[in-house]
Amino acid sequence: MIIFILHVVAALLRMKRLDVIMAATNPPVLIASTASLLAKIKRARFVYHLQDIHPEVSVATTGKASIADRVANLVDTWTVRLADRVVVLSDDMAKVVEERGRRDAIMVINNFDPWQLGSQLLPEPKRVDGTIRFVYAGNLGRFQNLETLARAILELRGDDRFAFDFIGDGAMRPWLQRFVTENRLWSVGIHGYVEPRRLAGMMRERFDVGVLSLHPGVIRCAYPSKIMSYLRNGLPVLAVVESDSELIDTLLHRKAGWTADPLRPDAIARAMIEIAESDQILVQMRDNARQMYLDEFDQSHQLRRWGNLFEDLLVENIR
């Protein structure tokens, strides 16, 4: 991380004229704070793209802030206040920025899906055994609340209406594999990384519902990009996320999925049973999911908003 920052400093100092410097939150805190200082030196505008908010996103999982977290919060709050524009991915994230004392120049511009859509037509569901096939595709990490999700699956053990697949890798994969083996969850498959285009085909042809799970509090500080893959490939979403979030409001308004309390395995299991008992609406929800993708994550729409942001900054520079 330090070597990367030194390269950034050297590169920016060599450049003669800069209108705007933009930094995202990876690596967390340090690169943005460094870039904001360089923007002052170069007399350039600074745009802070908060893809997630640190250290709040990690504090949400541990429940307490370490000394390092408190220092990071002070540094990042200072960076946020220096920025000419702060870009976040959701209204929930905007509220966190406002809690830090920044009230103006906050813009909500969500990410867009970089992958090609391919065919606009979705294949008919190929379910022949009456089984609802759930898939979790993404990082198997500590922010994803996988322990609670696994215990919900355990409550459905032996019910042949359900099958589950986890696709991805991360810190929690060994724990998840042990949990599945020790509890003899034969209907659960755990796979490693799958190339995006192949995964898209699997979602279209093999699965019925995409599962999105976050540790309580994380949705305020980040936006789960995996929802784009689910929706793009026509999978309605079971979102194990707080119900008072923008994501859930949109998902339910669009009739493109369900929600469940992230603190209660029994509530998640009940949501899965509800999905199995409303099997007939899955076909319509597939269409709703694709429409939500096209309306919410369209590349041209998001790029137009970025273009407007930079045009505004350039006009301000001229003035």
Angle between helices 265-277 and 146-155 (to 10 degrees): 60
Handedness of CA 273, 121, 197, 250 (dihedral sign): negative
Instruction: Point out which residues pair with 210 in neighbouring strands.
Output: 135, 237
For residue 152, name the pLDDT band (cuts at 50, 70, 90).
Answer: very high
Domains of the chain: which residue ranges? 2-112+299-318, 132-296
Of 84, 122, 85, 138, residue with least CA distance to 232? 122
Percent of the chain with pLDDT over 70: 94
What CA–CA distance (Å, rounded) separates 84 from 36? 10
Share of the chain above pLDDT 90, in %: 68
Q: What is the pLDDT at residue 120?
A: 53
Q: Is the pLDDT of residue 222 over 90?
A: yes
3-state secondary structure of 210: strand
Q: Say yes or no: do domains 2-112+299-318 and 132-296 share a fold.
A: yes
Asked whether residue 122 carries a pLDDT value surpassing 80, the answer given is no
Q: Give me the pLDDT at residue 118, please.
A: 46
Q: Amino acid identity of 207?
A: F
Phi, psi (5° rounding) for residue 303? Answer: -65, -35
Mean pLDDT of 23-33: 88
The class that CATH gives domain 132-296 is: alpha beta
Average pLDDT over residues 167-180: 96
Question: 3-state DSSP call for residue 137?
Answer: strand
pLDDT digits (tens, 9 = 90+) for 55-98: 998 888 888 888 998 999 999 999 999 999 999 999 999 999 99
According to the model, what pLDDT value does residue 125 have? Answer: 53
- Cβ neighbours of residue 193 closer than 8 Å, sequence gap 6 or more: 167, 168, 169
Between 249 and 112, the more confident residue is 249
User: For residue 45, which amino acid is it?
Assistant: R
Query: For the domain bounded by 2-112+299-318, which CATH number is listed?
Result: 3.40.50.2000
pLDDT given at position 244 = 93
Specify the residue for token string 């120049």: 105
How much is the mean pLDDT over the chain? 90
Residue 45 has pLDDT above 50, yes or no: yes
Long-range contacts of 30-34 (CB under 8 A, 24+ apart): 30/1, 30/5, 30/75, 31/1, 31/4, 31/5, 32/76, 32/79, 33/75, 33/76, 33/78, 33/79, 34/5, 34/8, 34/9
Q: Determine contact, residues 165/136, Cβ cutoff 8 Å.
A: yes
